């Protein structure tokens, strides 16, 4: 069998890839937030992880590889787009997913085996949050549920930063109800004009980070082989995923190998919608 070597962001070393179960190789890659058309930079992780997906299928057999890439279809950017255009949120997300599929198909990439939508896994997110609260890793404050970063000793390992450095360098949401500035939202309240689901903490919607943890656990298990995405997601998204997932399933690895692609650069800056350089 051919040897695959991968540079693991978590260990900062190039390692021989040894799957947990060679008959069930599992990979999760963070997908798009579906509020607008994808640009060329959004296609980079699609192409990068398509190459890896094909290689894994070649080495281990197509029937032994599961590739999951999610759609984030509950998000404040989507809500703002719906309010601006006076359109139904589901209509916007369905349309955007259709565009995304057309564009990525045109690049010749394979579609993942599973493409879960966040809105279809709210129950799993609520269950995970309940477990974190019960275990003392999360707390409720003013209708929000927040993850207590200080409760997880390994926080910062992926990005290689201390909590103090992260506070100094991050755009941390200032909120008086946080015990620690780095604590992040797992659940937040929704008023009548926003999407919401009933929960033990009232009607609300999930924070961004809990989505991927809940979907990865549901579809790939508490421990799986590879988690990928752009290096702009390393902190805080992937760092937060590790913290909540490891605290929700003590003893499990969550993802064994972490892979990050670089950003597509335009005149030395990341291509992004916010900069308008796409």
Beta bridge partners of 14: 7
Burial letters 15-36, b for 16+ CB under 10 A, else e: eebebeeeebbbbbbbbbbbbe
Beta bridge partners of 71: 117
Pick from 212, 258, 157, 200: nearest CA to 32? 212
Pick from 198, 208, 202: nearest CA to 73? 208
Average pLDDT of the segment spanning 272-278: 90
- pLDDT at position 148 is 98
DSSP strand pairing (144-147 vs 138-141): antiparallel
Pick from 215, 278, 259: nearest CA to 48? 259
- pLDDT at position 43 is 97
User: What span, in angstroms and rounded, lies between the C-alpha atoms of 142 and 197?
Assistant: 17
pLDDT at 272 over 60: yes
pLDDT at 235 over 90: yes
Structure tokens at 146: 């927040």
User: What span, in angstroms and rounded, lies between the C-alpha atoms of 265 and 40?
Assistant: 10
Phi and psi (nearest 5°) for 206?
-75, 155
Q: What band does 171 get if pLDDT is binned at 50, 70 and 90? A: low
Domains in the chain and their CATH numbers? 5-270 (3.40.50.620)
Average pLDDT of the segment spanning 155-173: 74
Give SS3 for 113.
Answer: coil
Q: What band does 36 get if pLDDT is binned at 50, 70 and 90? A: very high
Average pLDDT of the segment spanning 184-192: 96
DSSP 8-class letter at 109: P
């Amino acid at each position: 069998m051919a040897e695959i070597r991968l540079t693991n962001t978590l260990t900062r070393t190039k390692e021989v890839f040894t799957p947990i179960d060679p008959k069930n190789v599992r990979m999760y890659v963070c997908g798009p937030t579906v509020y607008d058309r994808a640009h060329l930079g959004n296609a980079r992780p699609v192409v990068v992880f398509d190459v890896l997906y094909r290689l894994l299928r070649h080495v281990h057999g197509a029937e032994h590889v599961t590739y999951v890439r999610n759609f984030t279809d509950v998000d404040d950017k989507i809500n703002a787009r719906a309010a601006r255009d006076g359109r139904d949120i589901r209509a916007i997300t369905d349309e955007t997913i259709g565009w995304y599929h057309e564009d990525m198909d045109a690049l010749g990439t394979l579609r993942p085996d599973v493409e879960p939508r966040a809105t279809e896994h709210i129950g799993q997110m609520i269950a995970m949050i309940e477990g974190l609260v019960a275990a003392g890793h999360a707390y409720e404050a003013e209708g929000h549920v927040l993850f207590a970063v200080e409760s997880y000793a390994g926080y910062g390992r992926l990005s290689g930063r201390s909590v103090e450095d992260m506070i100094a360098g991050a755009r941390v949401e200032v909120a008086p109800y946080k015990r620690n500035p780095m604590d992040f939202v797992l659940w937040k309240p929704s008023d009548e004009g926003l999407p919401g689901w009933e929960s033990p903490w009232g009607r609300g919607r999930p924070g961004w980070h809990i989505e991927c943890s809940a979907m990865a656990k549901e579809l790939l298990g508490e421990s799986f082989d590879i988690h990928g995405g752009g290096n702009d997601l390393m902190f805080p998204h992937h760092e937060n995923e590790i913290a909540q997932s490891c605290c929700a399933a003590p003893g499990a690895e969550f993802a064994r190998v972490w892979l990050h692609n670089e950003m597509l650069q335009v005149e030395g800056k990341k291509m992004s919608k916010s900069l308008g350089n796409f």
